[in-house]
Amino acid sequence: MMLKKIAFLSITNISGPILAFISLPFITRLYNVDHLGSYHWILTLGMLGSIFLGFQVYNGLLSELNEEDLKRKFYANIALVLLSSIILILVGVIGFFINFLSLLDIISVYFISLTTVFNLIFMTYFSRISLVNVLAKVTFIKSTVTIFFSISLSFLIGSSVEYLVISYLLGELSVMYFLFLPEFKFNKKKLVLGFEDQKYLFCSDGEFARFYLPSQLLSTFMNSAMIFFIKFHSVSLLGIYSILFRLIAVPTYSVANAVKSIFYINFIKIENDKIKYLILIVLCCYVFSLTVSSMYFLLDLKFISYYLGSDFYRADEYFPYFVFWVFTSFTNIFPIEILKNSNRNKSVFLGEIFTSLLKLLVLIYIYSINFNCDLLKVIPLFFGVINLIVIVFYIFESWCVFNKK
């Protein structure tokens, strides 16, 4: 039953990335490599900012069993995001005065962060109440809106990073329209910005703010540092990274969102051999990723440059390394979801500290040799190996959870 649900939601979730894949040849011919690199940098900062908003306590919605408490937590999370957005504004002001970002970039990062975290809260809530079909629809709508405006604005006005950002925000707003407004209309509940519900929220799900928030900050910060390294070396190289991210990571993470939505709820229903089941899932993911990577490398395929144009001829060279890295990251989701929802967020935090330290050593090594290496080979390869190391710790901690129970 769990595999059927994951398969259904994965297929429906991946409809958006499939549409994005079909549109990529148009995007890569309308926007150059530097446009895509700069756009990815803004998105990265937006994702980093979204971690601060709400302090990640919305993750507690998935494990809440009481319907009244679930509803109360849901609205408390919405209010908490609005309150905590003040922090992001202050950070943006500091960034402007030290000339790290332009005013337009700060505004873009702020709204990307805000819309992203709102949609994460709604998707978590809808997953908890088992409305996965609604999530599948809005994922497709988001992709359609984003792609439509990316292409239309380029044809009507011209190609620039700002139009890519506007298109992304319009896609996020379309999700909010289909999830946010019907929920409030149906429940007719006022949004309270007082501190009573927020206090209750932290008393109930404060564990996520104490351990899961720092772990997410570490993970996102290290990924942002990596992207900054690539941007510092070459914006064009970051553009190639952006395309590989769209081709590999976006559809994979769409499946990951499906997994995170329903994996734990259904996994705990398995009565026997939970650890064997978990290890089998992990091994299947590794076999798949290594098979795809090795076949693409050995056959010396040139699909990406043929499909996207000559500007992206080097992307074929990096494709196997990215597949390995992305799928090892994806595989970590399974034990992390078990630990996150079993009051072992501390284990996830420790794993992220260990992972971040190893990634930091890789970046220091790259800097020490003055970037005298192929970044889009070295970084994915080393980061993938680090994922392989840390998952051993996560599986051991999951085994401790099962034994304790």
pLDDT computed for residue 193 by the predictor:
46
Q: CB–CB of 237/37 below 8 Å?
A: yes
What token pair was written down for 150?
């990316």
**Interior/surface letters 17-37, b for 16+ CB within 10 angstroms, e for the rest:** bebbbebbeebbebbebebbb
Q: Identify the residue whose tokens are 């001829």.
A: 313
**Nearest to 112, CA basis, from 37, 43, 202, 12:** 43
Q: CB–CB of 25/151 below 8 Å?
A: no
Q: How confident is the model at residue 285 (pLDDT cuts 50, 70, 90)?
A: confident
Q: CB–CB of 7/132 below 8 Å?
A: no
**Nearest to 5, CA basis, from 164, 136, 142:** 136
Residue 404 has pLDDT above 90, yes or no: no
| Alpha-carbon 360 to chain mean position | 20
DSSP 102: -
Q: Could you read off the pLDDT of 176-221 as tens digits, one per residue?
A: 777 766 555 545 455 444 555 555 555 555 556 566 667 677 777 8
pLDDT computed for residue 277 by the predictor:
80
Q: Which of 15-19, 82-86, 104-108, 173-177 has the lowest mean pLDDT?
A: 15-19
Number of Cβ atoms within 10 Å of the Cβ of 252? 19
- The pLDDT > 70 percentage for the chain reads 76
Q: Could you read off the pLDDT of 216-275 as tens digits, one per residue?
A: 777 778 888 888 888 888 888 898 998 888 888 877 877 776 666 666 666 666 666 777
Q: Could you read off the pLDDT of 341-397 as tens digits, one per residue?
A: 777 777 888 888 888 889 889 888 888 887 778 889 999 999 999 999 999 998 888
- The pLDDT > 90 percentage for the chain reads 9
pLDDT computed for residue 81 by the predictor:
80
Between CA 256 and CA 245 the distance in angstroms is 14
Q: CB–CB of 236/33 below 8 Å?
A: yes
Instruction: Read off the pTM.
Output: 0.77
pLDDT computed for residue 205 by the predictor:
57
Q: Could you read off the pLDDT of 138-178 as tens digits, one per residue?
A: 777 888 899 999 999 988 888 888 899 999 999 988 887 77
- CA 25 vs CA 94, 137, 167, 243: distances in Å: 38, 24, 17, 11
Between CA 373 and CA 379 the distance in angstroms is 10
Q: CB–CB of 357/299 below 8 Å?
A: no
pLDDT computed for residue 382 by the predictor:
92
Task: Tell me what the mean pLDDT of segment 104-111 comes to.
Answer: 87
Number of Cβ atoms within 10 Å of the Cβ of 191? 11
Q: CB–CB of 175/125 below 8 Å?
A: no
| Alpha-carbon 250 to chain mean position | 8
Task: Tell me what the mean pLDDT of segment 38-66 comes to.
Answer: 78
Residue 108 has pLDDT above 60, yes or no: yes
pLDDT computed for residue 321 by the predictor:
92
Residue 105 has pLDDT above 70, yes or no: yes
pLDDT computed for residue 12 by the predictor:
58
Q: CB–CB of 163/105 below 8 Å?
A: no
What token pair was written down for 361?
């050593």
pLDDT computed for residue 150 by the predictor:
92
Average pLDDT over all residues of the chain? 79
Q: How confident is the model at residue 314 (pLDDT cuts 50, 70, 90)?
A: confident
Q: At residue 252, what is the residue type?
A: T
Between CA 389 and CA 403 the distance in angstroms is 22
**Nearest to 10, CA basis, from 257, 247, 245:** 257
pLDDT computed for residue 199 by the predictor:
59
Between CA 252 and CA 10 the distance in angstroms is 9
**Interior/surface letters 94-123, b for 16+ CB within 10 angstroms, e for the rest:** ebeeeeebeeebbebbbbbbbbbbbbbbbb
Angle CA 11–14–20, to nearest 5 = 150
Between CA 134 and CA 183 the distance in angstroms is 12
- CA 69 vs CA 75, 127, 182: distances in Å: 10, 16, 20
pLDDT computed for residue 97 by the predictor:
76
Q: At residue 74, what is the residue type?
A: F
At 218, give phi and psi (nearest 5°).
-60, -50
Between CA 267 and CA 342 the distance in angstroms is 12
